[in-house]
Structure 1
Amino acid sequence: MRQPLDPGTARRRFATVTFLFWLPVGLYIPSQVLLLTERGMTLAVVAGLFAVHSVTASVMELPTGGLADVVGRRTVLAASGVLNLCALTVMALGATVWALALAMFLMGTGRALSSGPAEAWYVDTVQGHSGAEADLRTGLARGGTACAAALAVGTLVGGALPLLLGPGREAGALLARATDGLVLPLSVPALLGAAVGVAYVVYVLGALPEPPRPPATLRGVLQGVPATVAGGVRLGVREASVRRVVLSAAAVGAALATIELLTPGRAARLTGAPESGAVLYAALACTGFVCTALGSHGAPLAARLTGSSERAALASLAVSAAGLLLLGVTAAWGGPAPAALAAGGYALVYVGLGAAGPNENDVLHRRVDGTVRATALSVQSLALQSAGALAGLVAGSLPAGPLPWLLGAALLLTGALLWARRTTPAPGPPTDAAEQPPAPSGPVHAAVPPP
């Protein structure tokens, strides 16, 4: 049997596959809403299409995580890439509500399929080569950096392409004639994302080797996936360290939803017009991705300085909560000084979240057996998305001003305080999720109330 890849090679391939997955997302973010409205969709229809994506991703999150644990990481990742490139092609060319709804369904399913398997592959590979005590933080940090870098680069390129192909541009006129108007300038970022998706699928199939698995049968999958999902959920409830990871993910989801909901309007008020506010928000979004990349890159250093992954997660989330508090405090004032403080707070939020993620997941992977690793990551992702959806509704119903920001800061601080008492790891390697007892520790400090 072929030996597992060495940790350095596994880190590079994990970072590459992460970059290739998130680059198409960055490409279509700036133009997605504009493309849909250009196709004649009202904002209400656009909101409904986004709801199709969100509901699909949430419903499919746990079953697809279980599927990755049963049939293998590479197969599920390749399937996610195929679905995503099909979704982007349909979104770029579709002109009816039903076609666009299909694109959102495919995209939501692809997002759910991709949630966890690549990271699970990396951890399995490194531990298979170096044992259960192998260093995971460095690779997890590189993956987080690659994700944020892909989103930053994609956002810049995806925002510039429609401008370069817009009215009055020779390239835009050539495009319109060549496609008989089927491909709009706003469609090009999504089509480029689909092309990157092809490269992603090829790379996954060629660069992510796995140990041989027994051939999957339909009966085995139907029996194995529910059992694996149940084991992963039980682990998230019973095991203190995993429970903290899940609850802090919910806090992060609430904070991110608050920021993403409130920042565009605040940018428009600051610049005085929606159009210039949109430009400012795009610049802020790119800055947020860069800050996340920097924070993620520094996650191993944060663990060394604080003495453990748990303390690093506490410190990093506290930094993010302080940044969100600055955004809340400055929401009631105008002028250059409050704007500068708000910009600093925005950067702190994303630097802290970037540093917290790899350290939290280092704790998670040391408490989770490989048979439910992707499922546990799906539980974490579901907590973030569900809490974010609810927090967005709450923040949107509150009066404008500091209050919604301060609520998000309070929830994020609660998530940080979950790590105030260090969990003592049990000796030996992780056991099967269904049999693993809770680690000896105190109770979880608080349950975070329900992006």
Structure 2
Amino acid sequence: MTGYPPLDIRTARRRFVTVCVLFWLPLGLSIAPLILLFTERGMAMTAIAAFFAVHSLTAAALELPTGGLSDVLGRRAVLAAAGLLNLTALTLVALGTTGWLLGLGMGLMGAGRALSSGPAEAWYVDAVHACSGPGADLRTGLARASSATSAALAVGTLLGGCLPWLLGLGPDLGARLSEATSAVVLPLSTPLLLGAAVETVFVLYVLTALREPPRPRATLRDVLRGVPATVAGGLRLGGRDALVRRILLSAGAAGSALAAIELLTPGRAAALTGASESGAVLFAALACAGFVCSGVGSHLAPLAARLAGSGERAVLLSLGISASGLLLLGATATSTGPGPLILSAIGYGLVQLGLGSAGPSENDILHRRVESSGRATALSVQSLALQLTGALTGLALGVLPSGPLPWLLGGTVLLAGALLWIRRGEPAPPDPAPAGDTPARSAGTGSAQGTEPCDAGRTGADCAP
């Protein structure tokens, strides 16, 4: 990389994995206590729903602009900004006692989520290409990072759920903590404060470990001119390249599946246990197990691609497995007894296993179809497709009657996403955009890496980009 000796692949891979762990561990710590903390602060369910709506809408609104910002200003600066936003958000949510402070914290968390979707992965791909050329293997590093993300979320979920409970054992440290801070710090606040401390480590690590080529100084005018052009280029990706369009549609199908299991599983767990408190414990255990299954699927992604014969067929197989899990959950939605319960748990695991396996292969294909100047933007478009489809599916699930139908809706959408990959053969990549249309160049960041067509019917690690 210009200005530094290029990193070897193992070093780049290790730093990428470390960044993923440090970023997602704090968010995992917040999963179990978050809603309970809002309740302890006296917030009604309508207010809690509004907080989550603020988070989702902020992330969706900023997804593409922040992806373009990363391609214009650089990966490291934007990723560090995401960490600072999350640090501030976790602190506000942990200590906030009023609705507007909690809403602000959730909005900042959504902004941090938008900033984070793309820069780290784009940095990794750029580093590998600088070291070994565009034909280097990407899928292994992407799979390991995805597995590490799932592991961080699983550990964070367990730790975030157990820490407040542990503070209540023996001498009631939690009550003493609340009394000493005039109820500003509650036992349920401690996982989020621990997450804020981890975010500090994340920011420092990003600034010191993720070195990248020096970029020409970008003025405010450069940024304002370059980011919209990059966003427009990202939106045109699916229109120019049929394979990229399949990836974006598959991301939308995955968003539908995730919305189904996230919205329907807590209520189903409570119904199985007979109480909301015990249902919450069961849901935490299921969420942790789901992250483990997703991590295993990501770890197996390179093997799946080799056994299937190509990245495209691996995506087809993986999404098919995930859709079968959702359909199994739908088939057992109204059944009782240990047998259906076991089948439901298997279905939940299959959903996460398949989605975890599909992700690295999809992203490996995506990175071989886009230029470096628009790589983070492409990832943001993919994330936006997932979030918007998930939001629409959530609205549809809310009006459907309880029972198998909501599960079958998610399973059908995901199955349709899998069927997109039946078509064999890879279309030729799009013609490079004219120099004037390349946003990073207009911002003064230099020439982008071009892409080269793969042989027909071969994708991913089977061919050079």
TM-score w.r.t. the length of structure 1 is: 0.94
Provide the residue aligned with 2:235 in structure 1.
233
Shift in Å, 1:275: 1.6
Any residues of structure 2 matched to 1:282-431 within 5 Å, and which? 282-424=284-426, 426=428, 431=432
- Offset, 1:326: 0.7
Contact 1:23 1:154 in 2 (8 A): yes
Distance 1:237 1:86 in 2: 38
Alignment of 1:139-158 (within 5 A): 139-158=141-160
CA distance 1:423–1:3, shift in 2 (3 Å)? farther
Distance 1:314 1:247, change over 3 A: same
> Does the aligned pair in 2 maintain the 1:21–1:197 contact within 8 Å?
yes
SS of structure 1 residue aligned to 2:421? coil
CA distance in 2, matches of 1:12, 1:302: 22
One-letter amino acid matched to 1:138: T
For residue 167 of structure 2, what is the amino acid of its counterpart? L
Task: Map Cα deviations across residues 340-364 of structure 1 (whole Å, 9 max, x no partner).
Answer: 1111111111111100000000000
How far, CA to CA, are the matches of 1:148 and 1:382 in structure 2? 20
Query: What is residue 446 of structure 2 aligned with on the other side?
Result: none
Which of 66, 69, 72 is equivalent to 1:67? 69
Name the aligned partner's letter for residue 233 of structure 1. Answer: L
Q: Deviations over 1:135-192 (max 9, x none)?
A: 0000000110011001000000000111112387432244234433321101101100
Gap change, CA 1:373 and 1:332, over 3 Å in 2: same
CA contact (8 A) 1:19 1:146 kept: yes
Distance in 2 separating the partners of 1:90 and 1:332: 41
- State whether residues 239 and 438 of structure 1, in contact with CA within 8 Å, keep that contact through their aligned partners in structure 2: no
Q: Deviation digits for residues 76-130 of structure 1, max 9, x if unmatched?
A: 0000000100111111111111111111121111110001110010111101111
For the residues of structure 2 that align with 1:55 and 1:181, how far apart are their CA atoms? 30
Aligned residue type for 1:140: L
Instruction: Kindly provide the amino acid, as one letter, of the partner of residue 9 in structure 1.
Output: T
Cα displacement (A) at 1:440:
11
Residue 445 of structure 1 aligns with which residue? none
Per the TM alignment, residue 439 of structure 1 is displaced from its structure 2 partner at its CA by 8.1
Contact 2:370 2:451 (C-alpha < 8 Å) held by counterparts: no
Contact kept? 2:97, 2:184, Cα under 8 Å: no
Give the direction of change, closer, same or farther, for the CA distance of 1:369–1:423 in structure 2 (3 Å limit): farther
Distance 1:348 1:259 in 2: 12
Rounded to whole Å, the distance in 2 between the matches of 1:115 and 1:432 is: 24
8 Å CA contact retained: 1:34, 1:186 = yes
Letter in 1 for 2:183: G
Q: Any gaps of 5 or more consecutive residues in structure 2?
A: 439-449, 457-465
1:207-226 matches, within 5 Å, as 207-226=209-228
**2:7 pairs with one of 2, 5, 8:** 5
Residue 114 (structure 2) aligns with: 112
Residue identity matched to 2:68: G
Distance 2:281 2:292 in 1: 17
State the match for 1:133 in structure 2. Answer: 135
Deviates more, 1:429-438 or 1:400-409: 429-438
Q: Could you list the per-position Cα deviations for residues 256-291 of structure 1 after superposition, in whole angstroms to 9, with x for gaps in the alignment?
A: 101111111111111122221111111100000000
**How many pairs are equivalent?**
441
Q: What letter matches 1:401 in structure 2? A: G
CA contact (8 A) 1:22 1:150 kept: yes
Is the deviation greater in 162-171 or in 76-85?
Answer: 162-171
Aligned to 1:91: 93
Q: How far did 1:14 drift? A: 0.6
Once residues 52 and 394 of structure 1 are traced to their aligned partners in structure 2, the CA distance between those partners, rounded to angstroms, is 19
- For 1:268, the aligned partner's letter is A
Q: How does 1:144-183 map to 2 (within 5 A)?
A: 144-166=146-168, 169-183=171-185
Please report how far the alpha carbon of residue 312 of structure 1 lies from its aligned counterpart in structure 2 after TM superposition: 0.5
RMSD after superposition? 2.0
Q: Percent identity?
A: 66
Amino acid aligned to 2:134:
A
Match of 1:47 in 2: 49
Partner of 2:266: 264
Q: Which amino acid aligns with 2:235?
A: V
Partner Cα separation in structure 2 for residue 99 and residue 262 of structure 1 = 29
SS at match of 1:122: helix
TM-superposition CA deviations, 1:209-254 (whole Å, max 9, x none): 1011111110000000000111111012221111111000000000
- Kept in 1, the 8 Å contact 2:256–2:393? The answer is yes
Distance in 1, matches of 2:117 and 2:236, equals: 19
Amino acid at match of 2:119: P
Q: Say if 1:71 and 1:400 are closer, same or farther in 2 by CA, change over 3 A.
A: same
Query: Secondary structure of the equivalent of 1:45?
Result: helix
Q: TM-score, normalised by structure 2?
A: 0.91
Mapped partners of 1:142, 1:181: distance in 2: 41
